Structure 1
């Protein structure tokens, strides 16, 4: 529970929300975050925390966007699961058993048939209303999709996503969940097509994820009220770059502004989005090449280039050197 609360508040701070004000409005004691022995929040306090965070961030889809921002955390979970799993089915089974470490309000059930894998999220107790857990369940759905991304090292597109209510912004839900959700009475879940269950987990995944996590850990903790928009976008792109650098539209949606408004704010700071994205790609490319663990074609793919030649041209533009010469010089 505490990890979940910490993540909610941390993401709210990234969205320019004052943590002290958020806690006060939600009835959370000022000592809660600093005291490791603090009593767990009540379900009502957690509900108010979600509601107030969305209100103060001016983002009705706060939980959905938070799920996107937690890719780094999801990768950390995946890294531990991979060490004891040989297939995606085993990894999902272990993940379902570990949900309680993240929250005590929900559980996960799995069902696999010949053509697809079905993942359902349920309230932990019958006394809880599934609708009251909407923010939490949406967060878990997004994290689950990203967790599968980490296991497979490719973007997973659900065949269907189920929510027990009609969403207010179906286009944005479709962007984040990669599938437009349908209303299903009392049900949160998703269906992944294909024979996913017996898919082997590539042994290189864990090494790759460790590389990302080491990079992320070296980032300064974001101070939303003192950092520039450029810095916040750079940190977000870097922390979420394990399957390519996010687009301008994706970043604008996560920051709850229009692409044009985001570009306008960046222009005031003397930057463009493309400049920031290129700097992130350069930083990651230099680390991948210096590690000596990846072939050029793999680095190209991880950074979102369809052809190694396109990546080589971009890298030479950034550094003045071809990737091979850069590695030799290092």
Structure 2
């Protein structure tokens, strides 16, 4: 097969654009995107600077939205694929220095490039854009179709609000009922049109991030205490996403949760019992807001051969349930 050549934009990161503490590592400009050629087997990036040539290899990964979850995905992907290149697409340049120090090659969303990647994961939240589905379509166009394209969605679209059971096969909320679920379902539709995979994640958390931490700092929350909440630790969400990427599956929807649903009150009781937090939660005062659902992803676990590192919120906190 012949070779096609094209030229994309450059982003240079000089030593003046990063913090003094990291300058010794970056003595010369670093080209993130250069002219490149691709054949049927690989995509070759030809640098026009002294950095020589780099390859967009068979295990290289593009993360759209390299925030808390995306950075953990990068860490776990690199553990699986030492020597691979990981790129991070962002809507601002505010955190590019941090990403560079983490070994992620950042580039600004508005930078135009025809470069494509074998693995693409979209982790950006809908709050950052007026056209979520459009952004996901652009991300899908950055996938060369060889490895995997994964979108980290939410479990919100499952149509259950009576604290009842819910799994991968539970019907979704009809379009038109909720702007939030409409946004997610339209985004998922784009992913599936491109034959990518969706992983619907429960409430993400770590020690200093998640519903429990927000409620703890609020002190009193106007929400009903018996609403069932579903959780998954950030590390487990990342490992599940990486597992799906590695499987090279097409057009599938998976569910990510720890299979230990808890009421809001139970969550905060565990927080108090753990003794790991300085603040004291005062309580929930709501009585009429909707109930939740009890997620179970046994089918996802069986198919993928995946299990969470933290099987429950109580296990994470080191307390008995």
Q: TM-score, normalised by structure 2?
A: 0.29
- Structure with the largest fraction of strand: 2
- Specify the structure having the higher radius of gyration (Cα): 2
Q: TM-score, normalised by structure 1?
A: 0.29
